[in-house]
Chain A
Amino acid sequence: MSQTTGSTDRAVVRELDAAARRGYNLDGTKAARVKRRLTSRRGTAFALLIAVLWTVPTFGLFVSSFRPAELINTTGWWTAFENWGWTLDNYNEVLFSASSSAPQLGSYFVNSLAITIPVVVFATVLAAMAAYALAWIKFPFADWVFVIIFALQIVPLQMALIPLLQIFTTTLKPAQEWLHGVVPIIPDETYVQVWIAHTIFGLPLAIFLLHNFISEIPRELMEAARVDGATHGQIFLRIVVPLSVPILASFAIFQFLWVWNDLLVALVFSGGTADVAPLTQRLAELAGQRGQTWQRLTAAAFVSLVVPLIVFFSLQRYFVRGLLAGSTKG
């Protein structure tokens, strides 16, 4: 998902906000509402059908993850009432079992966090700095630099994978081995490659979005600060960053979900060991194994889904903004 023009994003976000403010009181009188509801009974039936169809697959997996292995593999989850039996063993096994054949998701869960959190920080900070410079420091080719960064959003990350991996192998590998030699507690496979790759792939969209927001900060505010003798560094830290918190948060949430849910970048840059690989990669591995064991796969899937779902349900408003803004990234 790469690109989109910020102006639409903003237009849509504005509409969303306006709609939220108006609430659901658009439809005038109660009588009108009753009438409308009567006329669209078929519409309601359709909506209900879609809502059920969209929910059932997830629900089925969720229910199954709490059923004992022998029940999952011999009976459908929709018969859970007739074939009664519930357990937490599946979660216990995928997370904590140390046996070599177990999924051992604990490590991968930590990896997912360890990859995602720093990337969000790196991308957001670097993009905010670049966006500020492009918006508020006058220089001859400002527009050109901005256009190039905008154009980079179109480049699918598939275009960058092969050469970037080569660059990492020649430069980062020796550095990591050296670090492993000095501080043995750090494995020679580290998060650095994945961090850098994700940060780079997140930057074009981040700069673009933040630029749109930061460039609309009132000019008087900036000029007043300049007159008072503030340097660009001070203006950035004391004015721009505090004012941009909403857009920074939206971008951060979106980037968080995008990195957490990513598989391709992880496959290429993580090396696939329990030292670095995130949950998604481990899940894909488990799903691809012969004779899949659904008691593991169902629980494992929910271990990876729980974080995005918490983010989603608690921050839906910001997520919608981030999504509208970032729906096009990747």
Chain B
Amino acid sequence: MTTADLLGKIFQILLGLAIFAAVIGLILFLIDRAPKRGRDWYQLVLFLAPACILLAVGLLYPAVRTAFTSFTNRAGDFIGFDNYVWMFTQPEALQTLGNTILWVVLVPTLSTAVGLAYAVFIDRSRGERIYKSLVFMPVAISFVGAGIIWKFVYEYRPAARPQIGLLNQVVVWFGGEPVLWLQEPIVNTILLIIVMIWVQTGFAVVVLSASIKGIPSEQLEAAELDGATNWQRFRNVTLPGIRGGLVVVVTTITIATLKVFDIVRVMTGGNFNTSVIANEMYTQAFRAAEPGRGAALALVLFLLVVPVVVYNIRVLRKQREIR
């Protein structure tokens, strides 16, 4: 990077921020100078316009457009449901769907289970905050970074040479042969799923730990006086008390998992039968020049997300009614 490059970039940022500030300043100025008649209406439009225009042009219109694109081929001709037929009949595409299902089953359940157990065991223990930070840290870093961290763990060296990947070293310690993990179908998908679990568990721990602390201590003490065992106390007091937290965690992780892209992209690029919907969507639309197929995959993603969201909203609304 030369100094000129750097100056150009800084200049660009400043220019961008200055233009933005000028536009916002102008809008606020116009709002202050609003004519007395129809004043609220005029001000409302000025306040809302920037965000609404951006959303309409950048999200609403494209989403509708994508829905239409999913019924066209690469030349843009209408081809009915062919893209969807492709998705549900071609072995490659079916593999993608199957993998996505595996991800969505394993990641939310395991992250939540491990996260809940961890949150319960570290609750009120010495060093709770440090415990929490350690597991929470992966949440802050990028999926790309997480992918590289784990790629190193799964790294392979031929049996004759010393291993540099921890997983293969463990295998060797137990007397096994090192494996090219990321090229071994099914195992490789599981190994990618582990990365996602590693990232998401911290989120589960933080939310569930907060929920656990929200349970009134009288309830726990009462259960203790009644002679409840640890397990009974967990089962009958803690679990019902954190239901809301559990729903948030499971639905949030499910949605994140449905959209997982970066991990697959960085670790295998979707090769060796590891592709998932979001990765395939990108590959089809932007690498294979098949926008129709990409759009169809995006639409399926959308249709998979909707029920999760609806469920989330319904449970939460019911809970609020009870309170």
A46 touches B121 (CB 8 A): yes
Q: Which one of A51, A130, A185, A192 lies within 8 Å of B51 (CB-CB)?
A: A130
A214 to chain B, nearest CB (A): 12
Instruction: Let me know if A320 is at the binding interface, CB within 8 A.
Output: yes
B101 within 8 A of A: no
Could you give 14 example pairs across A and B, Cβ below 8 Å? A4-B248, A7-B320, A50-B135, A57-B153, A60-B149, A60-B166, A134-B48, A137-B40, A156-B305, A200-B59, A263-B266, A275-B5, A311-B140, A328-B251
Q: Given the complex, which residues of A lie within 8 Å of B282, measured CB to CB?
A: 158, 264, 267-268
Q: Please measure, in the bound complex, the distance between the C-alpha atom of A33 and the C-alpha atom of B28, giving whole angstroms.
A: 58
Contact with A along B116-154 (1 / 0, CB 8 A): 011011101100100101111111111111011111110
Alpha-carbon gap, A121 to B21, bound state (A): 10
Name the distance in Å between A140's Cβ and chain B's nearest Cβ.
10
- Please indicate the chain A residues that have their CB under 8 angstroms from the CB of B66 in the complex: 159-160, 162-163
Q: Flag whether B244 is at the interface (Cβ < 8 A).
A: yes
Residues in A72-114 with C-beta less than 8 Å from chain B = 72-79, 104, 106-107, 110-111, 114
Q: Is B54 an interface residue (CB 8 A)?
A: yes
Answer whether A137 and B144 are a contact pair too, CB < 8 Å, given A15-B214, A37-B125, A44-B125: no
Shortest beta-carbon contacts, A-B, top 4: A261-B142, A19-B213, A133-B47, A200-B58
Quick one: which of B17, B58, B166, B297 has the most chain A CB within 10 A?
Answer: B58
Contact yes or no, A104 B1, CB < 8 A: yes
Q: From A106, A137, A201, A297, name the one whose CB has the most chain B CB atoms within 10 angstroms.
A: A137
Q: How many residues of B contact A (CB 8 A)?
A: 129
Cα of A31 to Cα of B67 in the assembled complex, Å: 63
Q: Which candidate, B82-90, B91-99, B201-209, is the interface stretch facing chain A?
A: B201-209
Contact (Cβ within 8 A) A50 B114:
yes
Please indicate the chain A residues that have their CB under 8 angstroms from the CB of B298 in the complex.
Answer: 156, 158-159, 161-162
Q: A284-B266, A330-B259 are in contact. Are A26 and B1 (CB under 8 A)?
A: no
Structural contact, A301 and B12, CB atoms closer than 8 A: no
Contact among B124, B147, B211, B252 for A26, CB-based, below 8 A: B124
Q: Is A145 an interface residue (CB 8 A)?
A: yes
Which among A1, A24, A118, A159 has the greatest number of chain B C-beta atoms within 10 A? A159
Residue in B50, B52, B265, B295 whose beta carbon sits within 8 Å of that of A145 in the complex? B52
Q: Is the CB of A297 within 8 A of B148?
A: yes
**CB contact under 8 A between A304 and B61, given known A1-B256, A186-B12:** no
Contact (Cβ within 8 A) A111 B9: yes
- Taking a contact as CB atoms closer than 8 A, the residue among B162, B201, B305 that contacts A76 in the complex is B162
Stretch from A215-223, A232-240, A242-250 that touches the partner: A232-240
Nearest-CB residue, chain A, relative to B68:
A163
Of the candidates B59, B61, B131, B207, the one whose C-beta lies within 8 Å of that of A12 is: B207
**Known contacts A130-B48, A203-B55, A330-B256; A3 and B142 CB within 8 A of each other:** no
A33–B29 CA distance with the chains assembled, in angstroms: 61
Q: How far, in angstroms, from A24 to B301 measured CA to CA in the complex?
A: 42
- Which residues of the partner chain A approach B63 to less than 8 Å between Cβ atoms? 155, 159-160
Contact A18 B214 (CB under 8 A): yes
Task: Give chain B residues whose Cβ lies under 8 Å from the Cβ of A330.
Answer: 256, 259
Name the residue of chain B whose CB is nearest to the CB of A24: B124
Q: Name A137's closest neighbour in chain B (CB-CB).
A: B44
Q: Enumerate chain A interface residues (CB-CB to B < 8 A).
A: 1-5, 7-8, 11-12, 15-16, 18-19, 22, 24, 26-28, 33, 36-37, 39-40, 43-44, 46-47, 50-51, 54-58, 60-61, 64, 72-79, 104, 106-107, 110-111, 114, 117-118, 121-122, 125-127, 129-130, 132-134, 137-139, 145, 148-149, 152, 154-156, 158-164, 167, 183, 185-187, 190-192, 195-197, 199-201, 203-204, 207, 231-234, 236-237, 257, 260-264, 267-268, 274-275, 280, 283-284, 287-288, 294, 297-298, 300-301, 304-305, 308-309, 311-313, 316, 319-320, 323-324, 327-328, 330
What CA separation (Å) do A59 and B55 show in the bound complex?
Answer: 42
Residues of A within 8 A of B309 (CB): 3, 154
Q: Which residue of A lies closest to B139 (CB)?
A: A323
Q: Does B13 contact A (CB under 8 A)?
A: yes
A8 and B248 contact, CB distance less than 8 A: yes
CB distance from B191 to the nearest CB of A (A): 12
CB B87 to nearest CB in A, in angstroms, measures 14
B158 contacts across to A, CB distance below 8 A: none
Contact between chains at B8 and A187 (CB < 8 Å): yes
Judge whether B286 and A267 touch: CB under 8 Å: yes
- Which A residues are in CB contact (< 8 Å) with B118? 46-47, 50
Complex contact A114–B13 (CB within 8 A): yes
B contact residues around A257 at 8 Å (CB)? 140
Give the docked Cα–Cα distance between A231 and B309 (Å): 38
